[in-house]
Amino acid sequence: MAGHILLIEDEPNIAEAIRFLLGRDGWQVTVLTTGQGAIAEIARLCPQLVILDLMLPVRSGLQILTDIRADPATQDLPVLMLTAKGQERDREAALAAGVSNFMTKPFDNKEMCAAVRTLMGGD
């Protein structure tokens, strides 16, 4: 497998766990710990997938997702949103903003890998 994933997650333990898990599966993972500069990094890195935490310092995942969908260059970029909040209104807001998939923390490692493979055009 090959492909570049941008992970935007402010919790160091979760970011490292996801980076390790997906790296072991063959993906290149770049980690950002804040929403600041996320759009510039997406433009610079041209990832095939963004994994985006809903609650981030500086800019929320929802704000970043809205910007991704508003730009013709990234409007079709797959985005997997993570949140510790499993509230229905968060899911509805993410879906309305155009999220590709939504996953609640804590997540199952196999489910995470399967979601990434699906979004990256695998199985």
* pLDDT at residue 41, as a whole number: 96
What's residue 2's pLDDT? 67
Q: What CATH code is carried by the domain that includes residue 112?
A: 3.40.50.2300
Q: How many domains does the chain have?
A: 1
Closest residue by Cα to residue 49 from 89, 22, 16: 22
d(CA 117, CA 104): 17
pLDDT tens per residue, the chain (123 residues)? 469 999 999 999 999 999 999 999 999 999 999 999 999 999 999 999 999 999 999 999 999 999 999 999 999 999 999 988 667 888 889 999 999 999 988 899 999 999 999 999 875
The whole-number pLDDT of residue 88 equals: 83
Domain extent for 39: 4-119
Return the sign of the alpha-carbon dihedral for residues 33, 36, 39, 41: negative
Residue 51: the pLDDT is 98
pLDDT at residue 123 in the model: 57
List Cβ neighbours of 7 (8 Å cut-off, separation of 6 or more): 15, 18, 19, 22, 29, 30, 31, 32, 50, 51
- Cα separation, 23 vs 68, in Å, equals 24
